[in-house]
Structure 1
Amino acid sequence: MPSRRSFLFAASAAVAAPSLPIEAQHSSGSGREMKQLPPAIAALTDRRSEAVPIKLGEREHRVERARGLLVKNRLDALVICTGTSLTYFTGLRWGQSERFFAWVLPAKGNPFVVCPVFEEGRVRERMEAKAATLPQASVTRVYTWNEDDSPYALLAKALKEAGIANGRVGVEERTQFAFADGIAHASPTLTVVSGTPVTAGCRAVKSTAELALMRLANDNTLKVYEAAWKSLEPGMTNRHVTDLIGVGYERTGFPGDASCQVAEYSALPHGSLHPQVIQEGQIILLDDGCVVEGYQSDISRSFVLGKASDKQKKVFDIVHKAQSAALAAGKAGTPCHAVDDAARKVISDAGFGPDYKYFTHRLGHGIGMDEHEWPYLVRGNSLPLESGMTFSDEPGIYIVGEFGIRLEDDWVVTPDGGDMFTPQSPSLEQPFSRA
C-alpha cells in the first residue's frame, strides 16, 4: 500500500522541473545512477548483508499468538486477504484485485486459502517457495472457486468444514469493503467483526529480530540523511535533495524515499508540491524512511545551511524538549495518550498553544512493517503501552507563512521509558553531530 510520503514524492516528481542541474542522472537496468556523485553519497555502501530475515520459528510463534488472541476475543477465525498482515503471518505477498483471495486462520485447526481456480497453481508455487517461512505449509488446504461461483459461499463452506458453522469471524481492517461485505452476507449464522484485536495485538509488540531490523532501517536512514546534508549547497532544488537521498538509499541496498520542504513550506507537515530552492538561513525539513526486510523507518530532521536565527533556535529548542518529554513518558503501562500529553504540554507552556494551534498533529504513530500502524499516540487513546511496542516521536511547531520545525525519531517502549533507535538531533546548524 503506498504511503503518504511515497504518494507525495511521486506527485512532486510529476510536477517538478527537471532535477539534478549540477549532476547528470540517468536510468539503467540496475536503477537510478548519477555521474559525479558528491563524496558523502559516494561513500555509502551496500548494507544488505546486515539484515537477518524473519525465520519460520518466529512466524509459527506469531500464528500461535494469533490463535490465543482469537480465543481471548471470542473469535472463531481470522480472515486476511492481502497486504502487510498476510506477509507478517505467512511471508506470502499477494496483489490486491477485484477477485477474492484470503488466508484464513481458525482458532482451532489448520489454516487454509481461498482463491480463484486459475490462481491455484500460482498459489501452490508461492507456498512451496515460501515453505521455509510459511507456518503449517504442508497442511494448508487450498479451496478454489470458478468465475461464476461465490467465493464467499466457498469461504463459509470451508469454515464449516473447519468446525465453524456459526460464530464470529474477524476480518483484517484493510480488507476492501466488497470483500468484507461479501463475507458478512455469506452465512446467516456467521457474524463478521473487526480482526484488529488479533492483527494489531500480534504486530504491535515487536520481537528481538524485528527490533534488530528496525534499528538497522533507522540507522541507515540517518546515515543517508547525513550524507545528503553534507552534499547540500544553496541554490539546489528540493527535488535535487530527494534525488540525492534516493541515490543514497540505492547505494545502501534498501529502498526508500524522501520529502524535502524549504522555508514556509516546512510549515506544512506533509509538505507541498510546489518547487522550492534552498537558501542559507532557511529551515529545511526532511521526512522519509527506508525498508529493511519489510520493516520501516520514519525520521524527520529540521536544519539550516549557514546560521540559524534566534527565533528558529528558540522553536527548535522547544521541539527538542517536547521530544525528550515524550520519550521519558513512554514507559510500559502508561496510557498512549500520556505520551502525546507530555510533548503537547511542553509546547503549550512555551507559548505555542493552546492545544493543536501550532502543534497540529498527534505526537506519534505505531511503526513496523507499515509506516503507520496500531497503536497511535494521541489524545483519547487509553491503551496501555507494552514493552516492545514501537512508535514515532515527532513533535512539531508549524508557523504558517514562516517555517515549521519537526524532530522525528523512532523508539521502542521499555519499563523505564522510550529507547530511541537513533540519536536526537542536537541543533539546527549541526543536525547530525554525535557530540
Structure 2
Amino acid sequence: MMFSRRSLLTAAAAIPLATRSGVLRAAEADLSALEPIVGDAVPIGPAERRGRLARAQALMKANGIGAVLIEPGASLLYFTGVRWGRSERLTAAVIPVEGEPLIVTPFFEEPSVRESLAISAEVRVWQEHESPFALIAGWLREKKLATGWIGIEETVRHFAVDGLLKALPGAKLVSANPVVRGCRMIKTAAELALMQKAADVTMAAYRWTYPRIEAGMTPQDIGTLMSAATRALGGQVAFNLILLGEASAYPHGTGKPQKVAPGEVVLMDCGAVVHGYESDISRTFVHGAPNAEQRRVWGHVRAGQQRAFAAARLGVPAGSVDDAVRGWYATLGYGPDYRLPGLSHRTGHGIGMDGHEPVNLVRGETTKLAPGMCFSNEPGLYLPGKFGVRLEDCFHMTADGPKWFSVPPKSIEEPIG
C-alpha cells in the first residue's frame, strides 16, 4: 500500500508530537532551504563517446583483439549510451577494431533500444525463433573478425559466451579487460566533473540531515531524510546504509532492530548519482557525547584515511595503499591483517558509473596508479560487540597526486566536514 506525503501528514496531525514515529517526523521535514545544485552538470555527449570508442579501438589494436562483446550494464551505457536491462533475450553490442559497432537486439525491442542509442552503429535484429549468436557470428564473418581474438567484457553471462562459441566453433575468446578497464578506469575531465557534482550532492545532503537525527529514529527514518535531501538537491539516490550502535561493528550491518540512542555510534554510508556517475561517502559520529574509546578509534580511522591518501602516489601498485594502512593499524594493536578488532575489508574500491568497479585498493593488486583513476578511501575499524567507525571519501589521481572529491572531517565533534 502506498502513502503520499500528504496522507502521512494528515494522519500525523492527530498524533501528539512527542509520540510521533521517526518516519512521520522524517516525512514532515522542511526541505525549503534546499535547492538543486546540479543545473550546471553536463551529461556525457556524442564527442565524449566517440573518444571512448577511439580509445577502445586503439587498445584493441595494441592487444590483438578484433572485437569486444558487451551486454547491458554500465559498460554498454559507457560506450553506446544504450540503457537496457538484462534478460534471457540477448541485447548486446560488438565493438570491432575498426568501424562502427554492432547492436544486436530482439526485433520488437529495436525502437526502444534506439531511443537511448547515442552513437552511430549498425543495428541488427533477431526474431523469437532465431539465434542472436548466429547473427553476431555472421557479422563477425562479414567483417573478417571471426578467426581472431574476441574479447568478452567481464560481466557477460555464461549463456552468451556459450551461445557465441556454439555459433562460432573455434572462436578464440579472451578477456576484454585490457580494453574495457583500460578505458573506464581512466576518467576524463567530463567524468570527473560529474563525480564531483555527485559528491557535492551527498555532502550537502549529509549537512542537512545530520542536525535532524533524533534519539529513537531507525535506519529507515534517517534514510528517508537523506533520500529526501538528495532528491531536493537534484541528485538520484544511489543507496543509504545506516548502521546504529553495535550494528556499526559489522561493515554491512545486521538484521537486528536498531534505534538511535544517546552515546551510541551512528554510521552512515550514502551515495548519489548525477548523470550516471556515483558518489560514495561514509560518516561516523556519536549521538550525544562520545566516550574515550569511541573518540580514540575515530581518531585512528581518520589518521588511517590520511595515511592511505598519502600512500596513493603515481606509479605505485594499488595494493600498496592497503598495505600502508593495514601495517600501521597493526602497530596500534589492531588485526593483524583482517583479524578483528581491526580492518576486515579492503581499504578502497574503484568508482565511477558503478559504485564499485575495478580496480581495488587491496593487498596484491599490482595495477599502478595513474592520472584519472578514482577510488574510495575507507579504512574502517570494527570492534565486534561494540561499535565500528568508517570514514569514507573518494579521490582521483591527478598529475600531481591524489585529490579529494569530498574533504574528510577533522574531528568527531564536527563529523561531517
Q: TM-score, normalised by structure 2?
A: 0.91
1:331/1:414 contact within 8 Å kept: no
Q: Aligned with 1:44: secondary structure?
A: coil
> In the alignment, what sits opposite 2:251?
269
Q: Relative to structure 1, is the Cα distance of residues 114 and 273 closer, same or farther in structure 2, using a 3 angstrom cutoff?
A: same
Q: Aligned with 2:326: secondary structure?
A: helix
> In the alignment, what sits opposite 1:348?
330
Can you list the C-alpha shifts for 1:384-410, whole angstroms capped at 9, x where unaligned?
A: 011110000000110000000011000
Q: 2:223 aligns with which of 219, 236, 242?
A: 242
- Mapping 1:217-296, distance limit 5 Å: 217-256=198-237, 257-296=239-278
Query: How much has 1:77 moved relative to structure 2?
Result: 0.3
CA distance in 2, matches of 1:145, 1:366: 36
- Between 1:341-350 and 1:288-297, the stretch displaced more is 341-350
> In the alignment, what sits opposite 1:15?
none
Instruction: Please state if 1:107 is matched with 2:88.
Output: no
Query: How much has 1:20 moved relative to structure 2?
Result: 7.3
Can you list the C-alpha shifts for 1:64-108, whole angstroms capped at 9, x where unaligned?
A: 000011112211101112011111111111121101111111002
> In the alignment, what sits opposite 2:88?
98
Letter of the 1:299 counterpart: I
Q: Aligned with 1:418: secondary structure?
A: strand
> In the alignment, what sits opposite 2:279?
297
1:329/1:417 contact within 8 Å kept: no
Q: Relative to structure 1, is the Cα distance of residues 276 and 188 closer, same or farther in structure 2, using a 3 angstrom cutoff?
A: same
Q: 1:117 aligns with which of 94, 107, 110?
A: 107
Letter of the 1:186 counterpart: A
Instruction: Please state if 1:369 is matched with 2:359.
Output: no
CA distance in 1, matches of 2:172, 2:209: 52
Can you list the C-alpha shifts for 1:89-133, whole angstroms capped at 9, x where unaligned?
A: 111111211011111110022211112222233334444xxxxxx
CA distance in 1, matches of 2:236, 2:114: 28
CA distance in 1, matches of 2:95, 2:399: 33
Q: 1:399 aligns with which of 374, 383, 386?
A: 383
> In the alignment, what sits opposite 1:386?
370
> In the alignment, what sits opposite 2:401?
417
Can you list the C-alpha shifts for 1:331-378, whole angstroms capped at 9, x where unaligned?
A: 110100111111112211111121111200001000000000011111
CA distance in 2, matches of 1:209, 1:222: 20
Q: Relative to structure 1, is the Cα distance of residues 327 and 233 closer, same or farther in structure 2, using a 3 angstrom cutoff?
A: same
Q: Relative to structure 1, is the Cα distance of residues 67 and 118 closer, same or farther in structure 2, using a 3 angstrom cutoff?
A: same
Query: How much has 1:50 moved relative to structure 2?
Result: 2.6
> In the alignment, what sits opposite 2:295?
313
Letter of the 1:96 counterpart: R
> In the alignment, what sits opposite 2:38?
48
Q: Relative to structure 1, is the Cα distance of residues 23 and 239 closer, same or farther in structure 2, using a 3 angstrom cutoff?
A: closer
Letter of the 1:360 counterpart: S
- Mapping 1:41-190, distance limit 5 Å: 41-127=31-117, 134-135=118-119, 137=120, 140-190=121-171
Query: How much has 1:22 moved relative to structure 2?
Result: 4.6
- Between 1:353-362 and 1:415-424, the stretch displaced more is 415-424
CA distance in 1, matches of 2:256, 2:272: 24
2:82/2:113 contact within 8 Å kept: no
- Between 1:291-300 and 1:312-321, the stretch displaced more is 312-321
Letter of the 1:159 counterpart: L
Q: Aligned with 1:49: secondary structure?
A: coil
- Unpaired segments ≥5 residues, structure 1: 1-18, 26-32, 128-133
1:396/1:404 contact within 8 Å kept: yes
Can you list the C-alpha shifts for 1:121-168, whole angstroms capped at 9, x where unaligned?
A: 3334444xxxxxx23x2xx22222222222111111011111213111
Q: Aligned with 1:185: secondary structure?
A: helix
**What value does the CA root-mean-square deviation take over the aligned residues?**
1.7
The count of aligned residue pairs is: 396
> In the alignment, what sits opposite 1:24?
24
Q: Aligned with 2:57: secondary structure?
A: helix
CA distance in 1, matches of 2:255, 2:311: 35
Q: Aligned with 1:261: secondary structure?
A: strand
Query: How much has 1:432 moved relative to structure 2?
Result: 2.5
Letter of the 1:49 counterpart: G
Runs of 4+ more than 2 Å apart: 22-25, 117-127, 414-417
Can you list the C-alpha shifts for 1:5-55, whole angstroms capped at 9, x where unaligned?
A: xxxxxxxxxxxxxx9715638xxxxxxx933x15xx542212231311111
> In the alignment, what sits opposite 2:27?
34
1:167/1:189 contact within 8 Å kept: no
Q: Aligned with 1:307: secondary structure?
A: coil
2:23/2:224 contact within 8 Å kept: no
Query: How much has 1:300 moved relative to structure 2?
Result: 0.7
CA distance in 2, matches of 1:373, 1:410: 13
- Between 1:306-315 and 1:47-56, the stretch displaced more is 47-56
Query: How much has 1:428 moved relative to structure 2?
Result: 1.9
CA distance in 1, matches of 2:352, 2:23: 35
The percentage of counterpart residues that share the same residue type is 42
**RCO higher in 1 or 2 (8 Å CA, sep ≥ 6)?**
1
> In the alignment, what sits opposite 1:5?
none
Q: Relative to structure 1, is the Cα distance of residues 20 and 123 closer, same or farther in structure 2, using a 3 angstrom cutoff?
A: farther
Q: Aligned with 1:258: secondary structure?
A: strand
Q: Relative to structure 1, is the Cα distance of residues 428 and 21 closer, same or farther in structure 2, using a 3 angstrom cutoff?
A: same
Q: Aligned with 2:358: secondary structure?
A: strand
